[in-house]
Amino acid sequence: MSTTASAGRIALVTGGSGGIGQAVVDRLVADGFSVAVHYARNQAKTDAIVENIVAAGGSAIAVDGDIADENAMRTVFDRVEDAFGGIDVVVNTAGIMMLAPIATLHLDDLDRMYRTNIRGTFVVSQQAARRVRKGGAIVNFSTTVTRTSFPSYGGYVASKAAIEALTLVLARELRGKDITVNAVAPGPTATPLFFDGKDKRTIQNLSTAAPLERLGTPDDVAEIVAFLAGPARWVNGQVIFVNGGLA
């Protein structure tokens, strides 16, 4: 789907002020989408993103809410529909990651990841399944670590594996509605979430682990999201690994 064909289409991006989320927002705006940029805490950054889009001639609004709260997300979807007249694409980049060996992971951290990553994705997917228009797309986010199985990622990977399963089931439940449902599974990507808690040696090792011998960039991931949001009408019920050949 070309930029011209995407003009007039509406996207909601959860976690739209994050590293990958912001890249997705920028790419969809460049493709002609009007975008609702969702945030949970970082209002100032989100407002700045929206202001920059509007100043450049694009169309965007900021929306906030806890993605795991069904009432808050119902309100978010209502606001998007009121502002733009409908929703064609939902990209759910919002998520959290806390790393520790399974033997020592604090169960409160496990519960936090499950609430945001699993329940949050379920709530957003549920609203998307009810609201996305014919010809639309739902894009959830997993991780390449579901394949690489790195130590200390057990709790996080378990939450992301659940997202993959949810995504594949939803694709089949939306039979006949002409809505695609896929998941993107990035590898090591240069974002604040990736760098948090890692020492220089770990970062260097991960930077050279893939055959392309570099970290991914948010733009690398946004390119795939834009493909799934636009022209990829025959890609459905898939997990797309975006990792430079790491796994």
DSSP string spanning the chain?
Answer: --HHHHTT-EEEEETTTSHHHHHHHHHHHHTT-EEEEEESS-HHHHHHHHHHHHHTT--EEEEE--TT-HHHHHHHHHHHHHHHS--SEEEE---------TTT--HHHHHHHIIIIIIHHHHHHHHHHHHPPTT-EEEEE--THHHH--TT-HHHHHHHHHHHHHHHHHHHHTTTS--EEEEEEE-SB-SHHHHTT--HHHHHHHHTTSTT-S-B-HHHHHHHHHHHHTT-TT--S-EEEESTT--
Which range among 19-33, 143-157, 173-187, 191-205 shows the weakest confidence by mean pLDDT?
191-205
Binned at pLDDT 50, 70 and 90, residue 204 comes out as: confident
> Which pLDDT value is given to residue 2?
45
Does residue 160 surpass a pLDDT of 80? yes
Work out the pLDDT band at 116, boundaries 50, 70, 90: very high
Given the residues 39, 114, 153, 156, the one annotated as active site: 156
% of the chain at pLDDT higher than 70: 97
pLDDT digits (tens, 9 = 90+) for 208-243: 888 988 888 999 999 999 999 999 999 999 999 999
Q: What's domain 3-242's superfamily in CATH? A: NAD(P)-binding Rossmann-like Domain (3.40.50.720)
Known active-site residue 153: no
